[in-house]
Amino acid sequence: MPVTPSGAGRYAPSPSGDLHFGNLRTAVLAWLFARRSGRRFLLRVEDIDTQRSSTESAERQIEDLLTLGLDFDGEVWAQRDRYPAYEAAVEELRSRGLVYECYCSRREIREASGAPHILPGCYPGTCRDLDDVTRERRRAELSADGRVPALRLRAEVTEWTVHDHYAGEYTGEVDDLVLRRGGQCPDWAYNLAVTVDDAAQGVDQVVRGRDLLSSAPRQAYLAHLLGYPEVGYVHVPLVLGPEGKRLAKRDGAVTLRQMLEGESVGEVRARIARSLGVTGVSGMDELVELFDPAQLPAGDVMWVAPHDDPGGCR
C-alpha cells in the first residue's frame, strides 16, 4: 500500500442523533481509504449547529464507531472549541475585502434565487453591493428584532474545479457562500468550519457521500483563498431507504444499536463489507486487506431490513 505519513483522513458526523447504516458505511469507507494509504484517521464532532447538536449524541456516536471496530488517531476535535479559529479566518478574508453583511431572510433568498438568471441553489447577491446608508438601515432593522446579519464571502469566481477519486475532474458553482449565519443564533457556517478544521488537522483526503460532491468546489475555493493545501475528495455511493431517498432514521431499525438487538457486531460488519463488494470477513483487519477501492460498487445501495434479507442491503 502507498504511504503518506503526513496526510490524514477523517470522519466528521453531526451529533444530532444515533448513526444509521448509511452513516456507518461511510465511516468505514473513510477509515478504509485512510488506513490503506497509510494516513492518520481522525474523528471530529461537527457540532456548530447549536440548535440540533448535543453532547450526549456525540458520546453515543463515538461509542458506536468504537463498537463497530474503527480506531482513531489523536484527540477527538469538537467544533464548539474552534470558534476563535473561524473568527480568525473570517478576519483574514475581511481584511482583503472578501466579506460582507447579508440582511436577507430565508424567504427573500428563496424568492430571489427563483429568478431565471440565477443558478438554482445559489445566492443571488442581493446584499453584495448595497451602499453604506442602506446597510446601516438594514442592520438597524435586524438589531431592533434582536438579530444580527449573516456574513458572506465576496466570491471572485462563479465556478471551481476539484478532483474526485471516482468522479474525476468536477467543476461546480461557487456563490457568495455564508461564513456566519445571521438571526438570533449566529452560528458559524458549515462550509467555513469544515474548511478551516481540515486544514488545521492536516486532512488531505475527504471521504463522504456523493450527495455532497456539489459542495466541494465551494470549500476548495474557500481553502484556496485562505492559502490552504488542496484536498483530495472521495465521494462514495449512498445507502438509500425504501422510497429511494437517502437512508434516514425514520426508515426503521437502521441504527447500530437497533441492529444489535438482533445481530452481532460481526454480522453488522459483514453486512457493511458485502455492500462494499467484500465477502467472507467479519473483522476490520481482514476488511482493510481485502477492500479494493476500484471494486467498490458504483451504484447506490438499497437498504433492506435484516428480517427481510439476511444481507441487509442489495
Q: How far apart are CA 92 and CA 151, in angstroms?
A: 13
What is the predicted pLDDT for the residue at 3? 40
Cα Rg for the chain, rounded, in angstroms?
A: 21
Q: Which residues are annotated as a binding site for ATP?
A: 249
Please say if the pLDDT value at position 309 is more than 80.
Answer: no
pLDDT tens-digit map of 166-189 = 999 999 999 999 999 998 888 999
Q: Which of 102-116, 119-133, 243-257, 281-295 has the lowest mean pLDDT?
A: 102-116
pLDDT in tens, 43-67: 999 998 877 778 899 999 999 999 9
Domain boundaries, the chain: 83-188
Please tell me the predicted confidence (pLDDT) of residue 172: 96
What is the per-residue pLDDT for 116? 44
Kindly tell me if the per-residue pLDDT of 117 is higher than 50: no
Q: Which residue ranges are tagged as binding site for L-glutamate?
A: 10-14, 46, 190, 208
pLDDT, residue 307, reads 58
Query: Which element (helix H / strand E) includes 42?
Result: strand 40-45
* Range 14-36 average pLDDT: 95
Higher-scoring residue by pLDDT: 4, 77: 77
Higher pLDDT, 144 or 186: 144
Burial of residue 28 (number of CB atoms within 10 Å: 0-12, 13-18, 19+): buried
For 172-207, give the DSSP string: EE----EEE--BSS-PBPHHHHHHHHHHHTT--EEE
Tell the CATH superfamily of the 83-188 domain. Glutamyl-tRNA Synthetase; Domain 3 (3.90.800.10)
pLDDT at 119 over 80: no
Q: What is the mean pLDDT of the chain?
A: 90
| Residue 1 pLDDT | 38
Written as nine digits, the cell of 104 is 436577507
Distance CA 158, CA 258 (A): 44
Looking at residue 121, its pLDDT comes to 65
Residue 8 pLDDT exceeds 50: yes
* Average pLDDT over every residue of 215-220: 97
- Running DSSP on this structure, what letter comes out for residue 116? T
Confidence band, pLDDT 50/70/90 cuts, at residue 314: very low
Does 68 score more than 50 pLDDT?
yes
Place of cell 457540532: 47
User: Which residues does the annotation place in the binding site for Zn(2+)?
Assistant: 102, 104, 123, 127
pLDDT of residue 49: 83
The pLDDT > 70 percentage for the chain reads 91
Beta carbons within 10 angstroms of residue 213's beta carbon: 17
Binding positions: 10-14, 46, 102, 104, 123, 127, 190, 208, 249
- Residue 287 clears pLDDT 70, i.e. is over it: yes
pTM of the model: 0.91
